Structure 1
Amino acid sequence: MTKTAPTQTAPRQGNALAASALDLTKTYGRGETVVTALDGVSVGIEAGRFTAIMGPSGSGKSTLMHLLAGLDTPTGGRTYLGEHELTSLSDAQLTRLRRQSVGFVFQAFNLLPTLTARQNIRLPLDLAGRTADAGWEQTVIEALGLGGRLDHRPGELSGGQQQRVALARALVTRPEVIFADEPTGALDSTTGAEVLALLRRSVDEWKQTVVMVTHDPSAAAVADRVLLLADGRIAGEIIDPDADAVLAGIRDLGKVA
């Protein structure tokens, strides 16, 4: 079922929030050239759930994700990661919090070509000065089917294998939230479906929180909840979506995905 709301949407009462935003605005430029990417957005991301963010090009979906993840600074409003207000932290504090609490998966994989798969997986731990939990690391590696590829460099791996390494890198720190920006955008449909299944498993089996930006209704249908953005505002949400419901939601915005 699609629920419409002009500027904000909230999780069901009683559910803890892994990330949230209050009256969030983001503008670029000044004067006559100003562009409003987000316009008074308030939203809560439920812990232990899979949330997808969808909307037409330029709707503000990637901007919202980047602000929730602490990768960008809002023009106005506040963002939180758990109980930490990101907008009150210094750059050094924000960097430490991201390393401890956030995992990232991008369309472009963002693996270092000179490092092996294992070294790429452990990179966020190395940057944070932490050692790997051997048992958890092995659980992730086995679940993602990377056991025979750990000594290979990215150039020796397929696109799907590279994205699995990127997902393992995001999971190995046991973050509070994984932010995934078009994680299947560079993959064929079969490999993309496998990556989505792994994200879904991380929520169902490992109680992870996942926030994913996507333009693909089939990918969004894997989520527990879809947030619909239009013109920098929350335009509605879909709970327990399927691909048809997502397509209908997009059409309700006056656009066709």
Structure 2
Amino acid sequence: MTPSTNVPTTLPESLPVSALPATTAAVAARGVSKSYGRGETAVHALRDVSLEFGKERFTAIMGPSGSGKSTLMHCLAGLDSVDAGQLWIGGTAITDLPDAALTRLRRERVGFVFQAFNLVPTLTAEQNITLPVALAGGTVDTAWLRQISASLGLADRLSHRPHELSGGQQQRVAVARALLTRPDVIFGDEPTGNLDSATGAEVLSLLRCSCREMGQSIIMVTHDPVAASYADRVVLLKDGALVGELEQSTPDAILGALAKLGA
């Protein structure tokens, strides 16, 4: 069941860097620009992007092909550098962090769920969930592992290897892996792209519940209006710039907004 209210808005005026209280946002960007190439062949992937992503909120990023949505996600997650502007994850400014510190921050405070499940085929579901913690030499919070496994319907599948799980169950394992460290934010890159509609709906419902019941913050890139309708907020991009947003919208309203952008 998707939210039914639709409140289109325009983006607020940009705030100065000092007015972006990173402590009240899961992720924040100020004046972010990113280009590839130089001179006449340069591609301007992001153009002066400023926005905040609230804590315990599920936000979808959408736009036509080439709008910059994947580039924005990669920059927000610290996977790609920016040419100008500032980025925060929680209270930490990440734009100028040394590589080692940025790697540690991503490992400890950021979760990822991708279109490809990215599970190690020789490991059990439980071992896949705990793998990032093990690689970091950390200690698994067993009680939390059991809680999220039960919440995601994986309690009786933890000893199974990926080939013994359905696509939906494999993606649930990926979601559990992202949740295990209680990150500041989870980034989803087309997380239901390899799933059928029914299974995709289950995964999206689980992501939405993780915001409402576990206090998680989620930022998802998607091209699917139905998937985006599960989000609390849809941010719209075109030609690397923010052009508007929708709050608690329906698939039809999102599709209409995309049509106006030429998507």
Q: Deviations over 1:28-52 (max 9, x none)?
A: 1122221111011011000111111
Aligned to 1:157: 165
Contact 2:29-2:88 at 8 Å conserved across structures? yes
Is 1:27 matched up with 2:35?
Answer: yes
Alpha-carbon RMSD across the aligned residues, in angstroms, is 2.0
Aligned length: 253
How far does residue 6 in structure 1 lie from its aligned partner after superposition? 9.2
**Aligned-pair distance for 1:15?**
9.0
Map Cα deviations across residues 143-202 of structure 1 (whole Å, 9 max, x no partner): 111122212222222211110110000011111101111000100000000000000110
TM normalised by structure 2 equals: 0.91
Deviation per CA, 1:104-125, whole angstroms, max 9, x where unpaired?
Answer: 0000111122221111100121
Establish whether residue 73 from structure 1 lines up as the match of residue 81 from structure 2. yes
1:84 paired with 2:92, answer: yes
Structure 1: state its 5+ residue gaps.
Answer: none
Is the Cα contact below 8 Å between 2:225 and 2:255 reproduced in 1?
A: yes
Question: What is the CA distance between 1:8 and its match in structure 2?
Answer: 5.6
Counterpart among 235, 239, 251 of residue 243 in structure 1? 251
Letter paired with 1:4 = T
TM-score normalised according to structure 1 size: 0.93
Identity of aligned residues (%): 59
Cα distance change, pair 61–14 in 1 and its aligned pair in 2 (3 A): closer
2:10 aligned to 4, 23, 31, which one? 4
Paired amino acid for 1:239: E
Unmatched 5+ stretches in structure 2: 1-6, 16-20
1:221 partnered with 2:229 = yes
Query: Match for residue 198 of structure 1?
Result: 206
SS at match of 1:125: helix
Instruction: Tell me the SS of whatever aligns to 2:44.
Output: strand
More displaced, 163-172 or 112-121? 112-121
1:7 to partner: Cα distance: 8.4
Determine the structure 2 residue equivalent to 1:48.
56
Runs of 4+ in 1 over 6 A off after TM superposition: none
Q: Which residue of 2 aligns with 1:100?
A: 108
